[in-house]
Amino acid sequence: MRINGHLLTKSVLKKLSHCLKRTEASVIANLVFTDKEFQKIKRKENKLFSNYPVEYLIGQCDFYKYKFYIQRGVFIPRPETENIVEFVLDWLKSKKIDSAKILDLCSGSGCVGITILLECLRQGIRASLTLVDKSKKAIATCLKNTKLHKINAAVIQSDLFKHVKGKFTVIVFNPPYLMPNEITGSLQYEPRRALVGSKDGITLYKSFFENLPSFVEDDFLTVMETSEALVPKLITLGQKLKLNLRLIKTESKVAFLAVSSV
Residue range 54-78, pLDDT digits in tens = 788 778 899 999 999 999 999 989 9
Alpha-carbon torsion angle 18, 23, 28, 31, nearest 10: -60
Mean pLDDT of the region 164-174: 97
136-148 burial code (b ≥16 CB/10 A, e <16): ebbbbbbebbbee
Is it the case that residue 196 has pLDDT exceeding 80? no
Residue 206 per-residue DSSP state: H
Between 44 and 171, the more confident residue is 171
Pairwise pLDDT comparison (85 vs 177), residue with the higher score: 85
pLDDT digits (tens, 9 = 90+) for 15-59: 666 665 666 666 555 555 565 655 655 555 556 556 678 788 778
Q: Give me the pLDDT at residue 258, please.
A: 97
User: What does the angle CA 99 – CA 77 – CA 54 come to, to the nearest 5 degrees?
Assistant: 140
pLDDT for the residue numbered 249:
95
CATH class of the domain defined by 74-260: alpha beta
pLDDT at residue 92 above 90? yes
User: Is the pLDDT confidence value at 88 over 60?
Assistant: yes
Distance of CA 239 to the CA centre of its chain: 27
- 8 Å CB contact between 132 and 105: yes
Instruction: Decide: 84 and 172 in contact? Cβ < 8 Å.
Output: yes
Q: Convert the pLDDT of each residue in 131-146 to its tens digit.
A: 999 999 999 999 999 9
Q: What is the distance between the alpha carbons of residues 149 and 67, in angstroms, rounded to a whole number?
A: 9
Domain boundaries, the chain: 5-50, 74-260
In the prediction, which pLDDT does 83 show?
96
Assign 156 a pLDDT band (cuts: 50, 70, 90).
very high
